[in-house]
Each structure stands twice: as C-alpha cells, then as structure tokens.
Amino acid sequence: MDDIVDDPILPELDDLLERMHVVAIPLNTRFRGQTVRELALFEGPRGWTEFSPFPEYGDAEAGTWLRAAVDFGWNEVPAGVAGRTSIRVNATLPAVAAEQVEGVLARYDGCRTVKVKVAERGQTLDDDVARVRRAREIVGAEGRVRIDANGGWNVDEAEHAIRSLAEFDLEYVEQPCASVEELVEIRERVGESLGIAIAADESVRKAEDPIAVARAGAADLIVIKAQPLGGVARALRIVAEAGLPAVVSSALESSVGIAMGAHLAAALPELDYDCGLATVDLFTGDVVPPGESLVPRGGTIPVERPRVDPALLVEHRATDARRQWWADRVTRTHAHLAR
C-alpha cells in the first residue's frame, strides 16, 4: 500500500514519546478475545490522535496504524462533503447469547442497523441463528441487520450459514471467508440466488494489495478502517481505486480513534451505509468527558475532534510496565516507517 498516497511527515521519535499517553480501559463484553483495551494517545499539532493496533500485530502492520495516527494528529484532514456534519452508525453485537442481545443493543441510542458477530470459535450455527433472530426481532422489519464472520467459515460452511440466516433479511454478509478466492466463490453461490451482498473487510485492510478484492469481483462493497489503512487520505484513495461502495468501521477505539473514522466517513463521496463507528459503547469508560464521548445519540455521531480529559487519562492510565511496552512498540514501528 506504500504507493497509494504520499506518507505524512514523520515526527521525531522523542517528540512522539513525549506526547504519548497509554490507557487501559475495560470492555463491557469480551470482544476479539479481549476484556481490556490498551491504546496510546498523542496530542499532535492538529489535535489528539490514537495509535491502537492489537497486541498480536507485528511491527510492519502496526506501522500502518502509526502512520494513520501521525496523519490525523500532524496533518490537515481531507475536507468532508458539504453539510455532512454527522454520521449514521450501526450497533455492534458481539457473539453473546440470545438472551443478552436486548441488553447489549439498549446501549445504542437510535441505531436502526445492527451488525451481528457470527462464526465465533467454540459456538455453533444454532447460536448464530438465535442471536440474529433476536436482533431482527428487536430492530423490527424496518431495521437493518448485517452479519460479520471475520473470515471464520470455509465456502461450504459459509453457504450453509448464509442460507440458514437469509430469512432474517440480511443487509450484507461481511468477510464470510478468509481469502479473496473464497469470497469470489461464495459470492457466486449465494449472491445472485439470495440477493445478499458480500462485503470485504480483512481482505482489504490486511492485504498487501487492498484493491485485489475489487479487481477479482470478490465483493459488492468494502469495509474500510482509518487506522489499519494508514489514515484518512490513504483510505479515501483505496475507495476511489476500488470503485465499490464503502462502509466505514472502527478498530475498537476510544472516541479519539472514532473521530478519525468519522472524518473518513464525512469525506467519502457517497455514504450509503450506516457506519460501524459506535463501538465506544463496548468500553466501560473513555478518555473524553461522558457528555462529549462519541457514542450514538439518535443513531448518529458528530464529525468533530473530541476534547480529551486529563483526569480520565490519569484514571485509565496503564501500568508502568505496559507503558514501557507501548513505548518500545512505538520505537520499533517508528524505525520501520523511517526506513
């Protein structure tokens, strides 16, 4: 992806480390196997920005996230579409039991769309069906339900699951299989016969060539995330080159990271889908004051840079050992970008 757009100017390492704050915020529900989310924040010349690649990511992949953080904190953000000052967002439903669905969705004020996690390791298709059924009952016939398998099925499993879930009027199926080749096949098997769109996420943000999925005809739309794609400008360029509709999603971020995603959504030429930017509700706290947190109100979030509260940085401050771990990580990823 290095040839997609010019890289932002990289600040000196000492400058980054001096500006860095590391926080650890518990989650309301286990998500991606995590119960606590750690992230690093920097107060850049343009405002607060976030660096929060997941712990298991290597330095090369994490470097793309650092590039995004620098871009948002040190450079001017591409202008949004005139009049687009708020973004409609979807609720995100983790792989909880059906009886827990109502409680989780109650946290999302006014959201008409729910993305349901499926294909969770250790669960069955019956669990998925029960969860999706309950979500559909709650949002009603006018609501929108999409599912996300995070590449957890092979093609045969995906076809069986999608046909089992089709009765719930799915808006689209996100990353049912892991590879581009599998996405092509599952799209051929169910796309035309069931009229269900296939969306690509990991096949875009974790790919050496993020346009390959569009070139192969493997998806009807793409899911884009600002940090994993290297920033707002780079993500916009990917959408333009792919030529497919896009939905902006988060990477389980604080309100600072969500603001980056909101600015990306605001700058898309077309925005036909509710965006997955309501994930602050998955946290038990935030780094901005409660009344200013980028949680959905009336189903939308504003396009703005939130104000970080110094007291909350202290309240959620990570341990010294974890702060050193993140300082070491920034040092390594900075060196990777500086090559």
Report pLDDT digits (tens) over 256-310. Answer: 999 999 999 999 999 999 999 999 988 999 999 989 999 999 999 999 999 999 9
Which domain does 322 fall in, by range? 13-78+311-338
One domain, residues 177 and 318: no
- Give yes or no: residues 67 and 127 share one domain: no
Annotated catalytic residue within 117, 134, 144, 263? 117
Residues of the binding site for Mg(2+): 148, 174, 201
Q: Please state, in angstroms and rounded to a whole number, the distance separating the CA atoms of residues 234 and 225.
A: 10
Mean pLDDT, the chain, rounded, equals 94
pTM of the model: 0.94
Residue 3 forms part of a structural domain:
no
Question: 5 with 234: CB under 8 angstroms?
Answer: yes
Which segments of the chain are extended strands (E)? Answer: 20-31, 34-44, 47-51, 86-88, 91-93, 113-117, 144-148, 170-174, 197-200, 221-224, 246-248, 300-302
* Contact between residue 188 and residue 162 where contact means Cβ atoms under 8 Å apart: no
User: Does 116 lie in the same domain as 66?
Assistant: no
**Stretch 25-45: mean pLDDT, rounded?**
90
Do 115 and 61 lie in one domain? The reply is no
Count of domains observed in the chain? 2
For this structure, is 225 an active site residue?
Answer: yes
Nearest to 136 by CA among 148, 120, 147, 122: 147
Binding residues, by number, are 148, 174, 201
115 is catalytic: no
Residue 258 lies in a domain: yes
Starting at the earlier edge strand, list the strands of the sheet with 20-31. Answer: 20-31, 34-44, 47-51
Looking up residue 67, the CATH number of its domain turns out to be 3.30.390.10
Query: Looking at residues 223-251, what average pLDDT do you find?
Result: 96
The percentage of residues in the chain with a pLDDT greater than 90, rounded to a whole number, is 90
Both 74 and 221 in one domain: the answer is no
Residues 242 and 166 both lie in one domain: yes
269: left (phi over 0), alpha (psi -120 to 50) or beta: alpha
pLDDT score of 7: 62
pLDDT in the model for residue 5:
44
Indicate whether 7 belongs to any domain.
Answer: no
Q: Tell me: do 254 and 183 sit in the same domain.
A: yes
User: Domain check: are 130 and 184 in the same one?
Assistant: yes
Question: Residue 174: what pLDDT?
Answer: 98
Same domain, 130 and 259: yes
Cβ–Cβ < 8 Å for 202, 249 = no
- Paired with 174 in beta bridges are 148, 199
Q: 309 by DSSP, 3-state: which? A: coil
Domain at 251, CATH number? 3.20.20.120
Tokens matching residue 212:
């390959």
State how far the Cα of 318 lies from the Cα of 338, in Å rounded to an integer: 27
| Residue 1 counted as domain residue | no
Catalytic residue among 67, 134, 225, 263, which? Answer: 225
- Do 331 and 263 share a domain, yes or no? no
Same domain, 109 and 255: yes
* Shared-domain flag, residues 107 and 245: yes
